Structure 1
Amino acid sequence: MRATESPDWTSVHVAVPRKSQRPPGISMAGFVQHPTAPVGIAMVPHPSVTLFVDLSEGDGLVYDTHGRREHGSTVVGLIPGDLRVSGRTAEGSRCLQIRLSPVVAAAVLGASTELVGAVVPMADVWGRDAGRVEAGLRAATSWDETFTLAANALGRRLDARPPLDPEVTATWRRMVAGRGRIRVGSLANEVGWSRKRLWSRFRSQIGLTPKRAAQLVRFDHAAHLLAAGGTAAHVAVASGYVDQPHLHREVKAFTGMTPTETAAAPWLAIDGAAWPAPPERHP
């Protein structure tokens, strides 16, 4: 386990697992917020389904989106909209964040389309075992133990469910490898399906159409380039947008912010510390 601090969020302690604790398609990071510093961060969409396992004492974390509020451990689907994670307790906030690639999430959680745009209690998706898993994670005495317990719990669910169609999995991997810069027709030819069949099967199992999924992957790459200091003009070219206005429109659609505002988003500022593996390497 490696611990570090974000250069911009110095009050946040970030723990990441060893390579041996990182199953394919699953990324984890632990966060501890100092008691005197309130949590408050807007989520930037990324091509993963996210589990926030709230390990705080007291009221814990609060998730605000679409005028609704959820407390405690929560599952956030792809493209959740205007989501802010906030909270403050006397003991500070402690959270395990797990990012699942959509092909893994569909198998682990048994859910796809119903999670897109949604923020729901973890128990609603995980089922009756959610309380036992959360209790075990709370009882862990180190982040190393926490990551191992989480990986084992996820692995058991993954092994108990049938995988997605291999053609859908292959399509997702090609999208990620190409950073969203690939035509759906070309993907269909690669997996040996018609465009219509790929569109239908991919949407039913991932929850997004292939075109929308590729847009999300491309946006995620562009957002990280912006956060790394790239100019909008350079990022537009590097990410495959037609021009800078095209980048501006897509960033605005995903985040409600301009490219300049997105570049300064705290959510992205801490990504380098919490998620050392580039998104394009995830299955």
Structure 2
Amino acid sequence: MAVTVFTPSERLAPFVRVFEVMETQEEMTRVLIPEPSIVIGFRFRGASQLVEGGEARTVPDSVISGLRVSARRMRTLAGSGIILAKFRAGGAAFFFDTPMHLLFGETLALDSLVPRAQVDRVASRIADAGDDARRVALLDAFLLSRLRPHAVPGAVQAAVQALQSEPGAVRIARLARDLGLSQDALEKGFRRAVGASPKRLASILRLKSAVSAYRPGMRLSQLAHEAGYYDQSHFNRELRAAVGEAPTRLLGSSDYC
């Protein structure tokens, strides 16, 4: 699989972490580690399927995926290509009216949130684009056309930043007090904007950080400590719960992303 990474435009960068264009020459199945934010994608070639419980379900060509705490297995057909926009935590709420927590664990057609005519128009232009840079420019422009700059309360944005800084150390009750909110009010606003509770986001951030930081030969105790886990056993339990495999088995392979 070839992955090309692009930086969003200056106006979009506060909300979108990265664009990725992914292309496959051969059919492959990979484990998708939970992302700490909403992801949208436009497939411009080929097809993919989610493999769950022994069954394969075709993924819509224009798709939005909510936060989740468990990994997914994705089978991608040979010759496929897709462009992804990976939002920052809480970033997707600036572009879509739907409360983000309603997307938790879901992989849906994008036209369930955006008028089908708009989705079809952008998808057609992306499919007809001559190169990846043009595809990125089209997706960037589509998102900018939907941007609502004041959609997420400042307190929720501050809470997201605090969790990203120290996902293993932040206490939600104290954070709410520091922001002048009740814990209940913070958690409700957080779930609506981010797509999961603060506790769940912290768990996803830790896991993604650990898996992304792993290098062959690295001690798992060091990996767990640097990602914010209490100890290696804590990391082992959370990774096994999310992926269904022991860390040594998953990290020793190349079948995840």
1:142 aligns with 2:128: no
| Correspondence for 1:87 | 76
Larger displacement relative to structure 2 (128-137 or 74-83):
74-83
**TM-fit CA distance, 1:143:** 1.0
CA offsets per residue over residues 11-39 of structure 1, 9 Å max, x none?
A: x23222256476223111112211xx113
Rounded Cα–Cα distance in structure 2 between residues aligned with 1:204 and 1:55:
31
Rounded Cα–Cα distance in structure 2 between residues aligned with 1:171 and 1:265:
35
Q: Which runs of 4 or more aligned residues in structure 1 lie more than 6 Å from their structure 2 counterparts after TM superposition?
A: none
The alignment partner of 2:214 has SS state of: helix
Rounded Cα–Cα distance in structure 1 between residues aligned with 2:90 and 2:8:
21
CA RMSD of aligned residues (A): 2.4
| Correspondence for 1:120 | 108
Rounded Cα–Cα distance in structure 1 between residues aligned with 2:120 and 2:198:
35
Aligned with residue 24 of structure 1, among 6, 14, 17: 14
Asked if the contact 2:44/2:126 (under 8 Å) is kept, the reply is yes
The alignment partner of 1:126 has SS state of: coil
| Correspondence for 2:39 | 50
**TM-fit CA distance, 1:267:** 6.0
The number of residue pairs the alignment matches comes to 251
Asked if the contact 1:32/1:95 (under 8 Å) is kept, the reply is yes
Asked if the contact 1:226/1:262 (under 8 Å) is kept, the reply is no
Larger displacement relative to structure 2 (216-225 or 144-153):
216-225
1:182 aligns with 2:173: no
**TM-fit CA distance, 1:167:** 0.6
Higher helix share: 1
Which structure 1 segments of 5+ residues have no match? 1-11, 270-283
CA separation of 1:227/1:125 partners in 2, compared to 1, >3 Å: closer, same or farther? farther
| Correspondence for 1:206 | 194
Rounded Cα–Cα distance in structure 1 between residues aligned with 2:58 and 2:3:
23
CA offsets per residue over residues 90-140 of structure 1, 9 Å max, x none?
A: xx1111122112411122232301111111112222332111111111111
Larger displacement relative to structure 2 (13-22 or 243-252):
13-22
CA separation of 1:153/1:205 partners in 2, compared to 1, >3 Å: closer, same or farther? same
1:106 aligns with 2:96: no
CA offsets per residue over residues 166-215 of structure 1, 9 Å max, x none?
A: 11111112211224431112321332212232122212332322111111
Identity across matched positions, percent: 23
CA offsets per residue over residues 230-279 of structure 1, 9 Å max, x none?
A: 3221122222322221111111122222222332454656xxxxxxxxxx
Which structure 2 segments of 5+ residues have no match? none
CA separation of 1:190/1:24 partners in 2, compared to 1, >3 Å: closer, same or farther? same
| Correspondence for 1:8 | none
The alignment partner of 1:40 has SS state of: strand
Amino acid across the alignment from 2:23: V
CA separation of 1:47/1:68 partners in 2, compared to 1, >3 Å: closer, same or farther? same
1:251 aligns with 2:242: no
1:260 aligns with 2:248: yes
Amino acid across the alignment from 2:15: G
**TM-fit CA distance, 1:229:** 4.7
Rounded Cα–Cα distance in structure 1 between residues aligned with 2:15 and 2:204:
17
